Structure 1
Amino acid sequence: MTNTTIEIILYGAEQLCPSCVNLPSSKETFEWLEAAISRKFPDQPFKMTYVDIYQPPEESEKEAFAKRVIEEDLFYPVVVIKDKIVGEGNPRLKTIFSELEKYGYKSM
C-alpha cells in the first residue's frame, strides 16, 4: 500500500467530444472513475482533479495541457497521471489501475 497521494487529472468539457457521441460526459466519467479507483484501492490516498479544457485554472501546467487537448484534437476526456496520458475518449480502468500500481497502489 502507498501513502503517497497521486493526482489524477481528467481534462474534459461540458459538450461531448464530437467523436464520442454515445459515451458518457466528461463529468460523468470523472465521477465514475473516482468511484472505481476508491473501490479498487480503498484507504489509499489519491486526488482527482477535473479541468474544463475551455476554462482551465490559472495554473501553467494545467492551462498548457488543456490547450494541447484542443490543439491536438485529443479525444476527451483525457486522463493524466504524472504527466502521462493514461486514457483518452473512453478511458480503460485496466490501464489506469496498472499505472497507479506502478506508484505502489495495491488492490484490495
Structure 2
Amino acid sequence: MVAPQVEICIYGADVICASCVNLPSSKDTYEWLEAALARKFPNQSFHITYVDIYNPPEDENKQQFSQRVIEEEMFYPVVVINGTVVGEGNPKLKSVYNELEKYGFSSANT
C-alpha cells in the first residue's frame, strides 16, 4: 500500500522554551526527526517543515498555529502531522511513528 503525502510540521523558535532548557533546540529536533523518519520509513513520501513561530511563512494555517503555540504557551518544538499534534517539548518517536502508521506507513523492519 502506498502512503499518501503526509505533512509533518515542527513548530519552534531559536530561543529554547523556558521549560525545555536541557532539551535539544527546535531546529535540532527537526533535523533529528527528519533523519529518524527517513531511516524508519525509507522510500515513503512525507514532507517535513520547520516553522519558526515568531516568523511563520505566508501560509495562513501555519501562521494561525504559530500564534496558538505562543498564546497557549505550548512547549516547543511542537510536532504536528496533518493537523494533529503528536508531541510537545520533547516529542517521542513512538508517538510520531504511530501517527504515521495511521496513514499507511510501514517500518523498514517489517
Scaled to the shorter chain, the TM-score interval is over 0.9
**Deviation at 1:2?**
2.4
Contact 2:40–2:107 at 8 Å: present in 1 too?
A: yes
Counterpart for residue 11 of structure 1: 11
Shift of 1:5: 1.5
Aligned-residue sequence identity (percent) comes to 62
Alignment of 1:67-106 (within 5 A): 67-106=67-106
CA distance in structure 1 between the aligned counterparts of 2:71 and 2:8, rounded to whole angstroms: 22
Aligned residue type for 2:99? E
Deviations 1:38-88 (A, max 9, x none): 000000011001100000011110000000000000000000011110010
* Counterpart amino acid of residue 59 in structure 2: E
Aligned length: 108
* TM value normalised by structure 1: 0.97
Partner of 1:53: 53
Structure 1 spans left out of the alignment, 5+ residues: none
Counterpart position of 1:37: 37
> Which consecutive segments of 4 or more residues in structure 1 shift more than 6 A?
none
Gaps in structure 2 of 5+ consecutive residues: none
